[in-house]
Amino acid sequence: HFLRCGVEPLSYLPNGWLSLFGKWLPLPAVIQAMDLVLECGIRGVLAVTLALFQIHQKRLMSANTMEEVLELINQDMRTSPLDGELLVKCARLRLPAVDEAFGEMTT
């Protein structure tokens, strides 16, 4: 969907990752997500990213232009209420898929 809207990963990933999710999440959720990132490293970063986009999937899929998608990712998600515990639970569920993707990259 992002690519159909003209949104490349470099348009949004560096913003979220370099700020350790501070540009994407409300502060309480950032603090909770950091536990997983500290525990799992880059695997945790990827899992939190996947979980966050899954939680916001309906809103992301309803955005039809590059501008709408990027505004949602870079502005609206941070100001939307988000249960940090739910985010971490969803991210932990994503870890096996992340591990599998890493395994495929190393073989």
Map 64-77 to HEC letters.
Answer: CCHHHHHHHHHHHH
Distance of CA 3 to the CA centre of its chain: 16
Q: What is the pLDDT of residues 52-100, one digit of tens each?
A: 999 999 999 999 999 999 999 988 888 888 999 999 999 999 999 999 9
Contact 40, 99 (CB under 8 A): no
**E strand or H helix at 17, and its extent?**
helix 13-18
8 Å CB contact between 38 and 88: no
Q: pLDDT grade, residue 107 (50/70/90)?
A: low
Which tokens go with 20?
A: 């350790």
